[in-house]
């Protein structure tokens, strides 16, 4: 039986792994199939303290991973498929591999939301993308649309102007949710235009097998129009990765893990950190902070239980 299993591979999971490994808990980390988490699809991270010139998201994650490995965390690139928190030791399965642990930290993060249209699904990878960093290069001198009004949309749109001739940000209301600095940067970019009060009802081009445009509905008047674009990027927020924890832990109505007293979940000995339990801050630095809290809480809990006090 392990002292501690950590599930995830973003800033929360690796920070938890660094702290737990340094506390001689020899954590086993199931990193899943989206190694590095959301920072792998971002470009320049300008607000992580300690990097005055900024750092690329993937470089930051590679450094955190290396730091966790250096202190002896065992990193495994498998996806956890099932957990059983109903009794101790806890059971964590990754396909055929079954592990037992006295404590578990969950840092499975959140994933980008999709528009939920059949045409979006059909044209995924054929002009529809949720990752400008990954796919922006394919839109050299083309016209693209970015859906959303938050920081993600501003960031994706600004990044896409490196390649695209024109980027239209499609906002479903008449205001942005983005921070002022990100919104101002997008507004100042001559390649970016905003279209307000519009909702994408269909991605066009299914018959052609590549995106040719979008059908829009005016959210105020209901008027329907079409716009020609070669690419569509959805940047409309995130949903927590908690499917395997349903029925095992208390989740809120959206699916985020409910934590109290720092990182405690509804099951003693199971802790959570990062975006999987945080819909409010969702920053790399807060994820790292709550990952640290989870490791310290797990460590203290293990000390208590091992001495028979819990």
Catalytic center residues: 131, 134-135
Query: What whole-number distance in Å separates Cα of residue 177 and Cα of residue 235?
Result: 12
3 state DSSP class of 290: helix
Chain centroid offset of residue 190 CA = 29
Based on the shown chain and the rule CB under 6 A, indicate whether residue 277 belongs to the binding site for ligand NDP: no
Task: Using CB under 6 A, count the residues that bind ligand NDP.
Answer: 20
Query: What whole-number distance in Å separates Cα of residue 24 and Cα of residue 44?
Result: 34
Taking contact as CB under 6 A, which single stretch among the options 169-177, 189-197, 203-211, 288-296 is the one that binds ligand NDP?
169-177
Based on the shown chain and the rule CB under 6 A, indicate whether residue 201 belongs to the binding site for ligand NDP: no
Based on the shown chain and the rule CB under 6 A, indicate whether residue 109 belongs to the binding site for ligand NDP: no
Between residues 81 and 179, which has the closer beta carbon with respect to ligand NDP? 179
Taking contact as CB under 6 A, which single stretch among the options 50-58, 100-108, 150-158, 188-196 is the one that binds ligand NDP?
150-158
Taking contact as CB under 6 A, which single stretch among the options 7-15, 125-133, 141-149, 223-231 is the one that binds ligand NDP?
141-149
State the DSSP string of 222-257. --EEEEE-SEEEE---EEE--GGGBTTB-B-TTSPB
Residues 25-84 that bind ligand NDP (CB under 6 A): 47
Torsion of CA 274, 247, 34, 143, to 10 degrees: -90
Based on the shown chain and the rule CB under 6 A, indicate whether residue 269 belongs to the binding site for ligand NDP: no
3 state DSSP class of 6: strand
The residues that touch ligand NDP, with contacts defined as CB under 6 A, are: 47, 115, 147-153, 155, 172-173, 177, 179, 199, 235-238, 282
């Amino acid at each position: 039986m392990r002292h501690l299993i950590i599930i995830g591979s973003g800033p929360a999971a690796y920070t938890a792994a660094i702290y737990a490994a340094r506390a001689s808990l020899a954590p086993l980390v199931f990193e899943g199939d989206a190694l590095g988490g959301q920072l792998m699809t971002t470009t320049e991270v300008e607000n992580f303290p300690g990097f005055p010139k900024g750092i690329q998201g993937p470089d930051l994650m590679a450094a955190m991973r290396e730091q966790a490995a250096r202190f002896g965390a065992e990193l495994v690139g498998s996806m956890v498929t099932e957990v059983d928190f109903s009794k101790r030791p806890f059971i964590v399965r990754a396909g055929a591999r079954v592990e037992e642990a006295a404590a578990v930290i969950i840092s499975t993060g959140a994933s980008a939301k999709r528009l939920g249209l059949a045409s979006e699904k059909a044209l995924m990878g054929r002009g529809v993308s949720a990752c400008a960093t990954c796919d922006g290069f394919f839109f050299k001198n083309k016209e693209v649309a970015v859906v959303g009004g938050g920081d993600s949309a501003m960031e994706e749109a600004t990044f896409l102007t490196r390649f695209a001739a024109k980027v239209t940000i499609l906002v479903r209301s008449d205001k942005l949710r983005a921070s002022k600095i990100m919104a101002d940067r997008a507004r100042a970019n001559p390649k970016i235009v905003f279209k307000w009060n519009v909702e994408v009802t269909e991605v066009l081009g299914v018959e052609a097998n590549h995106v040719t445009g979008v059908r829009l509905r005016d959210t105020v008047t209901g008027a329907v129009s079409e716009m020609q674009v070669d690419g569509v990027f959805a940047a409309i927020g995130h949903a927590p990765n908690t499917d395997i924890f349903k029925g095992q832990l208390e989740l809120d109505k959206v699916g985020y893990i409910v934590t109290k007293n720092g990182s405690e979940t509804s099951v003693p000995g199971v802790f959570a950190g990062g975006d999987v339990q945080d819909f409010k801050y969702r920053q790399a630095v807060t994820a790292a902070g709550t990952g640290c809290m989870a490791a310290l809480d797990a460590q203290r809990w293990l000390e208590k239980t091992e001495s028979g006090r819990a």
